[in-house]
Amino acid sequence: MPVPATPDPYADPLAFGQRLRILRTRRGVTRDQLGGLVARGGAWVKALETGRLGIPRFDLVLRLAEVLRVRDLTELTGDPSVPVPLFAGPGHPRLAAVRAAVDRLTFAGDREAPPTAQLTARLERAWAARHASAHHREVIGARLPELIHDAQLTVRQAASAVERRAAQSALSESYSLAQFFLAYQPDAALLWRVAERGLVAAQESEHPHTIGVAAWLSAQAHRDAGPPHSDAADAVTTATLSYLEPLLPDASPDLIAITGALTFEAGHTAARRTDTGTAWRSWDRAREIASRLPEGYFHPVTSFGRAVMAAHAVTLAVELRQGGEAVRQSAASDATPIPSRPRTARHRIEEARGYHLDGQPDVALAVLERAHERAPETIAYNGYAKAIVLEEAQSKHAARRRRASTLAVTLGLLAA
């Protein structure tokens, strides 16, 4: 039997350092990059990988798992007693139906397609339902299979070039909705299929706003794939902003908002690279764009608007590992509520990360409890939240350990 060139990190008996090296190499991350992202250095990572240092503290193990985006702590530790899914949970009950809808071949004669206007109205209702629901994946997962199929039919049966472009726009938006459902689900290949199809349909639509939304989601997919893909994320945002910015003088609020969302996205990617100057300059530019929007405006896909800029500042500070700045920005962000349950919950998770970085774990747990109250499905699939809860469930402080353990049981991370 041939011996594989690269060992399998899931096969025993591999030491922690060997697993770390294999997973880091597969991610395309250098030792210096990985060390910098966990506030250590390349020499520290090398010492772990070569066995000169043993397994680090649990919080550092979680941070390494977070950066490498491993599916389960067992992949990194080799210890089957801690099989904790971090960035990919067990999968939502509606995942199989959504996957089948994406993979299904649709032909023009399946049945009569609905008018594009009807699809657009259904999509508007779906986005509104998502923002209003504590169980947003359930809400959109129930709608997606039929929406995707109907949008594909409408494209196939379009009678003119104009109708086809409008139908492509609705199809692209259906894929955009699917990407929100697929975030943190255990099917990366499906997410990429949806992202690519959405971008192709958007380009076929020739509709600037649709192209902007698809590009925004594509950039996020690249950014979240890890440091080797940050250049691809930048390429998407840079090219799309070059296309959209000349249109701004006469743009609708939706087009202004997607331009602002993409501008912030460039800053978010820069923060992941710890490029502080670019990150905050992008945030300043996005804030200026947000100021052009009507008071109370809220973009239905990206959540961009004046209300979200303070939350974006928290995110940048957290990604830059600036705990004190994240806490300061958190205090400012509470002055303007975000009109979306899942977006508010995600903001709470970012706040919790900031408090945790700042050495305030009790506040971080309290904020995560608020996130769970607002939108349980958001926190249940979020790796950053899980990492904080699991770390504090091992705390030496009894009260904190009990509080974190109770939350871990609620999230399904620990048995009751």
Torsion of CA 322, 318, 324, 374, to 10 degrees: 180
Based on the fold, state whether residues 48 and 149 are members of the same structural domain.
Answer: no
Domain ranges, residue 45: 16-77
pLDDT surpassing 60 at residue 11: no
Based on the fold, state whether residues 22 and 101 are members of the same structural domain.
Answer: no
Q: Are 214 and 201 in contact (CB under 8 A)?
A: yes
Of 292, 226, 295, nearest to 258 by C-alpha is 292
What's the whole-number mean pLDDT along residues 13-23?
A: 86
CATH number where 53 lies: 1.10.260.40
Based on the fold, state whether residues 27 and 56 are members of the same structural domain.
Answer: yes
Report pLDDT for 1. Answer: 39
pLDDT band at 292; cut points 50, 70, 90 = very high
Q: Is residue 342 part of a domain?
A: no
Domain termination residue (choose one: 187, 206, 225): 206
Of 226, 282, 280, 278, nearest to 259 by C-alpha is 282
Q: Is residue 379 part of a domain?
A: no
Determine if residue 293 is left, alpha or beta; phi over 0 gives left, psi from -120 to 50 gives alpha, anything else beta. beta
Based on the fold, state whether residues 99 and 168 are members of the same structural domain.
Answer: yes
Total structural domains within the chain = 2
Mean pLDDT, the chain, rounded, equals 90
Q: What is the CA radius of gyration of the chain?
A: 22
Residues in the chain: 416
Q: Is residue 182 part of a domain?
A: yes
Report pLDDT for 114. Answer: 95
pLDDT surpassing 80 at residue 109: no
| CA dihedral sign, ordered 123, 194, 229, 325 | positive
CA distance linking residue 50 with residue 15, whole number of Å: 10
pLDDT surpassing 60 at residue 230: yes
- % of the chain residues with pLDDT over 70: 93
Q: Are 179 and 129 in contact (CB under 8 A)?
A: no
pLDDT surpassing 50 at residue 291: yes
Based on the fold, state whether residues 106 and 142 are members of the same structural domain.
Answer: yes
Provide, for the chain, the percentages of residues in helix, strand and coil under a 3-state DSSP scheme, each rounded to the nearest 5: 70, 0, 30
Based on the fold, state whether residues 67 and 123 are members of the same structural domain.
Answer: no
Q: Is residue 109 part of a domain?
A: yes
Of 378, 408, 351, nearest to 130 by C-alpha is 378
pLDDT surpassing 80 at residue 392: yes
Highest averaged pLDDT of the listed ranges 3-17, 46-60, 164-178: 164-178
Q: What is residue 104's three-state secondary structure?
A: coil
What's the whole-number mean pLDDT along residues 69-86?
A: 72
Q: Is residue 370 part of a domain?
A: no
Report pLDDT for 94. Answer: 95
Domain termination residue (choose one: 169, 190, 206): 206
Based on the fold, state whether residues 36 and 65 are members of the same structural domain.
Answer: yes
Based on the fold, state whether residues 194 and 111 are members of the same structural domain.
Answer: yes
Based on the fold, state whether residues 57 and 127 are members of the same structural domain.
Answer: no
pLDDT surpassing 50 at residue 9: no
Of 332-336, 356-360, 365-369, the range with the lowest mean pLDDT is 332-336
Domain termination residue (choose one: 148, 175, 206): 206
> Hey, how many other C-beta atoms are within 10 angstroms of the C-beta on 204?
18
Report pLDDT for 416. Answer: 60
Based on the fold, state whether residues 44 and 105 are members of the same structural domain.
Answer: no
Q: Is residue 271 part of a domain?
A: no
Q: Is residue 220 part of a domain?
A: no
Q: Tell me: the pLDDT tens digits for 30-44?
A: 898 888 878 788 999
Report pLDDT for 159. Answer: 93
> Hey, how many other C-beta atoms are within 10 angstroms of the C-beta on 91?
15
Based on the fold, state whether residues 134 and 65 are members of the same structural domain.
Answer: no
pLDDT band at 226; cut points 50, 70, 90 = confident
Q: Are 367 and 352 in contact (CB under 8 A)?
A: yes
What's the whole-number mean pLDDT along residues 72-100?
A: 77
Based on the fold, state whether residues 159 and 98 are members of the same structural domain.
Answer: yes
Q: Is residue 87 part of a domain?
A: no
Q: Are 149 and 106 in contact (CB under 8 A)?
A: yes
